[in-house]
Chain A
């Protein structure tokens, strides 16, 4: 599975980083960086958790 970021939507709340720090982080400018895009197993569950806490629906796991 693949994490897809809709960058224009992202407002840098960073709740996704708090949910899945292994997979993504916000850089010093507050821009989201996906450290891994391809995920499976337990990581896919983490990616989904990250996507679901995003209040602006900027992340998808497809």
Chain B
């Protein structure tokens, strides 16, 4: 690494991780040349809103908008990074530009995993995807959603709420893989109550049918709807890093300060963090923010920066139920009730961990997140 203070820092990615990194670099005292590269033409926006308020709101299309960036970087938007030479410290862009840097932040996030190359298969990852979906929903089509994770369930909920007939195809019980059986049961009941048709399958694939695309289930049945949306996971955007040695199993492993090497940080959905169970991606909004803060500081200040101590926070709204959760989900078994009780209604739940801490969930229960985080810590 070159001695002295960095003069040029490039942030590749303009989602919340890239934006937070750029802001934090300034807060950490970096006053040199800062460049942010984003492959979307839009300024940074709130991704969680895309599958929630933005699908629902009639006239309100601002629920995803973030205040303008204040980092004073030169922003190259609508441009994609295509290559990195970590030895010569050069980032190549698809418009032919080559950007030299002293320090680099990798924050290119991830993209929707697809089940086919068929254009009728819609996914929801970026703002443009959400706007297309919103527009298509205006005609109240019948919808089949493939994927029983939080995103698939939120999409199904949004489609139902605007008056569509919706079938959701899930491998196993929806949300069980992410949250555990107890909370999954709550969401399943709420979804059925709102009129969702739920189809469990061992495998689903998309194929071309007479009337467009259709969903073929492993067990034989075939589902057809006017609109097919898949939400079957995400794939980190690391193709542009091939040959750099920075990518392992599709993600960028980083140390506890978010560094992939002394002059390169990575934050957000493409970064694999050190955890007790090995390197793991934690692709959540608040995780991206916390990762980006630590990584940006470490890039400027090095080992004096305290390492990341992530206490994952996650929330979802679907079928009239809101959940805020802190900790490591899924959780097994029944919770302890700190407030409320089983059988519906607002509840604050905790699943104790062997170390005295707990995984906590607030279901239809308004609680400040800092207090929810304290509830998850060991009792003192």
A interface residue numbers (CB < 8 A to B): 9, 11-15, 17-18, 25-30, 45, 48-49, 51-57, 59-61
CB distance from B77 to the nearest CB of A (A): 17
Q: Which residue of B lies closest to A58 (CB)?
A: B63
B67 contacts the other chain (CB 8 A): yes
B286 contacts the other chain (CB 8 A): yes
The CA-CA distance from A49 to B70 in the complex, in Å, is: 9
A53-B67 contact in complex given A12-B368, A13-B315, A15-B369, C-beta closer than 8 Å: no
Contacts of A54 in B (CB 8 A): 46, 66
CB distance from A46 to the nearest CB of B (A): 9
A52-B20 contact in complex given A17-B368, A18-B370, A45-B27, C-beta closer than 8 Å: yes
Contacts of B20 in A (CB 8 A): 52-53
CB distance from A59 to the nearest CB of B (A): 8
Q: Which residue of B lies closest to A6 (CB)?
A: B62
B368 pairs with A56, CB closer than 8 A? no
Q: Which residue of A lies closest to B19 (CB)?
A: A52
A60 pairs with B67, CB closer than 8 A? yes
B53 pairs with A56, CB closer than 8 A? yes
B23 pairs with A52, CB closer than 8 A? yes
* Contact among A25, A28, A48 for B70, CB-based, below 8 A: A48
Q: What interface size band does chain B fall in?
A: 20 to 34
A14 pairs with B370, CB closer than 8 A? yes
Contacts of B370 in A (CB 8 A): 14, 17-18, 26
Residue of A14, A15, A48, A55 with most partner-chain B CB within 10 A = A55
B250 contacts the other chain (CB 8 A): no
A-B contact pairs, 19 of them (CB 8 A): A9-B63, A12-B369, A13-B324, A14-B368, A14-B370, A15-B289, A17-B368, A17-B370, A30-B368, A45-B27, A49-B23, A52-B16, A52-B69, A53-B286, A53-B289, A55-B48, A56-B63, A60-B67, A61-B67
Q: Considering the complex of A and B, which 10 residue pairs feature the smallest CB-CB distances, nearest first? A: A26-B368, A14-B369, A30-B366, A51-B67, A55-B48, A14-B368, A55-B46, A48-B70, A30-B368, A57-B65
Q: Which residue of B lies closest to A57 (CB)?
A: B65
The CA-CA distance from A15 to B290 in the complex, in Å, is: 11
B366 pairs with A29, CB closer than 8 A? yes
The CA-CA distance from A32 to B101 in the complex, in Å, is: 41
Tell me which residues from 281 to 335 in chain B have a Cβ below 8 Å from any Cβ of chain A: 285-286, 289, 315, 322, 324
Contacts of A28 in B (CB 8 A): 368
B49 contacts the other chain (CB 8 A): yes
A57 pairs with B366, CB closer than 8 A? no
Q: Which residue of A lies closest to B322 (CB)?
A: A11
